[in-house]
Amino acid sequence: GAGVSQSPRYKVAKRGQDVALRCDPISGHVSLFWYQQALGQGPEFLTYFQNEAQLDKSGLPSDRFFAERPEGSVSTLKIQRTQQEDSAVYLCASTGVEGGDEQYFGPGTRLTVT
């Protein structure tokens, strides 16, 4: 595709439900990043993949958060037993080389936990 795509664009979950957020990076991009952005704040790093390897998951806020990229392309961010504080926009970004310079962001998934 022409850019990074994410689905769903909007998700409403009841507290305690599990959710799965999908990211399709730009074809051929090696590095993939997940960020969490609360209203009025900058994106906060969650995790980083280089191909299928998860090189850094230091930003995942709890063990309820899990990310995978099994074939080195599409990635899924899973949140188990959602809590109200998980409500945020989840952004995915990719770069063409390790680390890379410019990060290309997807449109994000807005998660609302009620």
Partner 1 sequence: GQNIDQPTEMTATEGAIVQINCTYQTSGFNGLFWYQQHAGEAPTFLSYNVLDGLEEKGRFSSFLSRSKGYSYLLLKELQMKDSASYLCAVRDGANAGKSTFGDGTTLTVKP
Query: What is the DSSP code (8-state) at residue 41?
Result: S
- The tokens of 56 are what? 């850094």
d(CA 79, CA 19): 5
Residue (28 or 42) nearer to partner 1, CB: 42
Q: Check the CA dihedral 7-74-27-106 and report its sign.
A: positive
What is the number of other CB atoms lying within 10 angstroms of the CB of residue 51?
15
User: Binders of partner 1 among 41-60, rule CB under 8 A?
Assistant: 41-45, 48, 50, 55-56, 58-59
Binding mask 15-44 for partner 1 (x = CB under 8 A): ----------------x-x-x----xxxxx
- The tokens of 46 are what? 């969650």
At closest approach, how far in Å is the CB of 57 from partner 1?
A: 11
Residue numbers of the site for partner 1 (CB under 8 A)? Answer: 4, 31, 33, 35, 40-45, 48, 50, 55-56, 58-59, 91, 98-99, 101-108
